[in-house]
Structure formats: structure tokens, C-alpha cells
Structure 1
Amino acid sequence: MLIKTDAVVLKQSKFGEGDRIITLFTKKLGKVQAVSKASGRHKGKYAVGTQLFSYGEFVLFKGRDLFQITQVDLRHSFYSIREDVTKLAYGAYLLELTLAAIGEGQTNNRLFELLINSLQIFSKSKKNMETIIKAYEMKLLYYSGYKPELECCVHCGTSEIGNPRFSSAEGGILCRNCFQQDLYAMKISPVTIRVMQYLITQELEQIAKLMIRTEVMEELNKITRHYIGTHLEKNAFKSLEFLNHIK
């Protein structure tokens, strides 16, 4: 059975004698693994279309265990991301985070379009990449069903939150009266809460113009890393380690 679908390449790994396993985020099938043949008439045929970040229309043949890539109509290689080490690190994090967020065969069209849009912004500019990353994290959590409660206390529901704390375990902010629900809840400023709400609701092109103060970004990084680790069950990202190394 042949299936034609738009897809983004999330990961490559070696498979057998020169073949590769390509992990695709597809629009119709969600996350799938497909073999890209590298022998005979297939040698190099799909090399460009199966590079990391590549976006295009893929024709897949469903085998007994894995899909096989039979055709690629490349729409965008996002080559400029691979030419800049900082862009590469940020872009790799988008792919790594997406891999962690979606299961095999799980479709998520809003996240699919968000990924393409984010890669397009990265390919054109180096400005505010960290802000785009924070927006991607927040929107990914929302589209994956893990949106944190930021409007009222996640435990009692009151909107009179005063000086709240943020609980990854409980899934949002806690008012003073509910701090005991999570003794490890983190301090969070009203400004950071408003920034998180903005990142969830606004378009990426508008967010790219936002300048986030250093202290707010630091608090945001601490909270989102812990929240992602709690709900996506992934704490270590090689791309982030590399990014921290080159900064």
C-alpha cells in the first residue's frame, strides 16, 4: 500500500549496509519510521529530501515492519539552519522536543504546522531564537494536552492568587492557600505568567518581535524545563547541552 503525505524529517539513523532509518513527523500518519535505501538505483536519490529538517511530500510503502520511502518531493530543506551552528542547535532542539512529545502513529496537525512555521522563522533570521523556542515549548505542551493552568489556582480554582507558585506536578499555578499541595512548587512572577499566556495565544510572527527581560527568561527556562521533564518524561536533551556549550 502506497501512502502520500507531507512530512518533516526528525531523525536519521544507520540501518544495514548504507541504508538509513528516517523518523518522520507526517501529517497523515503522525510519527513513523521509514527505510531510505542507499543501494543500486536508489543510491543518493533521496539524500537531500531525507536530511534533518527537510520538509516535503513523501510517498511511503508499508512493509511488514517498516515503511519504505519510494519518492520525495522536497518543498524546503531549511539548509540555512545547518549552515549556522547556533541555528543548528536551536533547530535540533525543536526536532528532539517534537520526538519526545508525539507517539508512533499519533497525528497532531497543529503541532505539525507549528514545527514548519518555526523552522521557516529560524531559516530566515537569528533574532529572538530563544523566544521562539519558549513559544514552541508552550504551544507544544498545549497542542499535546499538557497546557498548564495559568488563569487560576489549579487546585482550588480561585482567581485570587496573590503571590502564586508554579507546580509542575499539579499542572499549573497554586494560590497561597494551596501551597501545601506541592512543597516543591517554584516561585513565579506575575510577569512570567503573562508572558507564558502570551506565548500560548499569539502567532509566532508576533512573538518574534517580543523582547523578554533576562530575569523573566531565566525564570521561564527553569519552569518550562521542569514542566517538560515532568509531563513528557524527558529531562536530558543533547541539543540543549550542545547549545549551552557553545554559548
Structure 2
Amino acid sequence: MLVKTEGFVLKNRKYGESDNMLVIFSRKLGKINAIAKGAQKPKSALMAGVQPFCYSEFLLYRGKSLYTVSQCEPKEIFYKLREDVKRLSYAAYLVELVEVVTNEGQTNNRLFNLLGKTLYLLTKPEIEVNTVVRSFEINFLNYCGLKPELHRCVHCNKITADYWKFSPQEGGLLCNHCSSVDPYAMKISETTLRLARYLQSKEIHEVRKLKISDTLNEALKKLLKQYILVHINKYDFKSLEVAEKL
């Protein structure tokens, strides 16, 4: 059976002498594994469209356990990402997040569209990278069914408090009366909370030029890092470590 679908190449590794094994996040099929036969050959018609990050239109043949790429037409290769190591590393981090959380055969159009918009924004030199990455993380959590509660206490449902703490384990805010529920709950300032709520309420293109101070970015990054670690059990992203050292 042949299937035609758009997709992003999340992973590409050498397979045999001239083939590539791909992980593709596709619109119609969700995450799939596919082999691109002969893609490493210099004159291969598949080579351009199966590179990491590429947004391509694939014609796929479904075998018993694996898809085979019959045709591949690149629609956007995000070439400018490869001209900036820092932006390339952040893009690799976002792709890693998507690869970890998506399940084979399960579609997620909102996440698919978010990834495409974010990769596109990262190619633009005028874009605030920290803002885009934090916005992606928050929307990523929303679209994966892991949305943190940022407007009320997750324990007693109060919407006001003398102060708030953020509990990754409990899934969001704890008011001052309930903070003892999680002794490891993290302090969150009113400014950081306002920023998180704002990013959670906006599409990524709406915040693309918002400037976040380094201090505020670090505070929000710390909270989201721990939340992601708790809920998807991973935060050893080498690509992110590279980006933050540059």
C-alpha cells in the first residue's frame, strides 16, 4: 500500500552501505520508521529530502514492519539553521522533544504545526531565540496532554494566594496553604508566573519578538526543565547542552 504524506525528518542514520534509516513525524501517520534505500548515493533523488529537520512530501510503501520511501520531495530544508550552530542546536533539541513524546502511528496535528512554525522562526535572525524555545516548550506540553496548571492551586483549586510554588510532581501551582503537599515544590515569582501564563495563552508567532531578560528566562527554563523531566522522564538533551554553551 502506498501512502502520501508530509513529514519532518526527526532522525537520519546510516543503514548498510547506501541506505538511511529515518524517523519521520508525519501529518497522516504520526511518527514512523522508514528506510530510504540508496539515499546515501551521490546521485540519489532522495538525498535532499531525507536530511534531519527537512520538511518533505513522502510517498511511502508500507511493508510488514517498516515503511519504505518510494519518493521524496523536499518542501523546506531549513538551510539557514545549518549556518548558525546555536540555532541548529536548539532546533535539534526541539526535534528530540518531539521524537521522545510521540508514539508510532499516533497523529498530532497541533504539535506537527507547532514544530514547523518553530523551525521556521529559528531561521530568522531577528527572532528572540529564548522566547521561541520557552514558548515551544509550554505549547509542546499543552499539545501532548501534559499542560501544567498555572491559574489555580492543583490541590485546593484556589485562584489567589499570598505566594505560589510550582510542583512538577503535582502538575502545577500550589498555594501557600498547600505548599507542604510537595516539599520539593519550587519557588516561582509573580513575574515568572505572569510570563508563563502569557506564553501559555499565545500562539508562538504572536510572541516571536518578545524580549525576555536573561534572569527571567533562566527562572522559567529551570521550572520547565524539571517539569519535562518528571513527565516525560528525560532531560539529558545533548543538543540543548551544546546550544547553552555557545
Specify if TM > 0.5. yes
Letter of the structure 2 residue corresponding to residue 172 of structure 1: G
TM-score (norm 1): 0.95
Whole-Å separation in 2 of the counterparts to 1:28 and 1:225: 30
Name segments (4+ residues, structure 1) moved above 6 Å: 39-42
Shift of 1:40: 10
Shift of 1:42: 9.7
Matched with 1:14 is 14
Distance change >3 Å, CA 144–CA 40, structure 1 → 2 = closer
- Contact preservation (8 Å) 1:37, 1:43: no
Matched with 1:110 is 110
Shift of 1:169: 0.1
Letter of the structure 2 residue corresponding to residue 203 of structure 1: E
Secondary structure of the corresponding residue to residue 25 of structure 1: strand
Matched with 2:166 is 166
Shift of 1:213: 2.1
State the aligned residue count.
246
1:220 paired to 2:223: no
- Contact preservation (8 Å) 1:166, 1:173: yes
- Contact preservation (8 Å) 2:39, 2:47: no
Matched with 1:44 is 44
Matched with 2:29 is 29
Secondary structure of the corresponding residue to residue 161 of structure 1: coil
Whole-Å separation in 2 of the counterparts to 1:150 and 1:124: 30
Matched with 1:122 is 122
CA distances 1:55-103 after superposition (whole Å, capped 9, x unpaired): 1211110111110001112111111111211111111111111111211
CA distances 1:137-193 after superposition (whole Å, capped 9, x unpaired): 000000000000000001110112221100000000000111111100000011111
Matched with 1:209 is 209
1:3 paired to 2:3: yes
Letter of the structure 1 residue corresponding to residue 96 of structure 2: E
Whole-Å separation in 2 of the counterparts to 1:6 and 1:226: 33
Structure-to-structure mapping, 1:41-190, within 5 angstroms: 44-125=44-125, 127-190=127-190
Whole-Å separation in 1 of the counterparts to 2:205 and 2:163: 31
Secondary structure of the corresponding residue to residue 127 of structure 1: coil
Structure 2 unmatched runs, 5+: none
Distance change >3 Å, CA 211–CA 65, structure 1 → 2 = same
Q: Aligned residues: percent identity?
A: 42
1:231 paired to 2:225: no
Structure 1 unmatched runs, 5+: none
- Contact preservation (8 Å) 1:31, 1:103: yes
Letter of the structure 2 residue corresponding to residue 234 of structure 1: K
- Contact preservation (8 Å) 1:87, 1:126: no
Bigger shift: 59-68 or 197-206?
197-206
Secondary structure of the corresponding residue to residue 244 of structure 2: helix
Letter of the structure 1 residue corresponding to residue 179 of structure 2: F
Letter of the structure 2 residue corresponding to residue 56 of structure 1: S
Instruction: Give RMSD over aligned pairs.
Output: 1.6
- Contact preservation (8 Å) 1:30, 1:104: yes
Whole-Å separation in 1 of the counterparts to 2:53 and 2:119: 8
Distance change >3 Å, CA 126–CA 66, structure 1 → 2 = farther
Letter of the structure 1 residue corresponding to residue 106 of structure 2: Q
Whole-Å separation in 1 of the counterparts to 2:105 and 2:170: 28
TM-score (norm 2): 0.96
Secondary structure of the corresponding residue to residue 87 of structure 1: helix
Whole-Å separation in 2 of the counterparts to 1:141 and 1:40: 35
Matched with 1:240 is 240
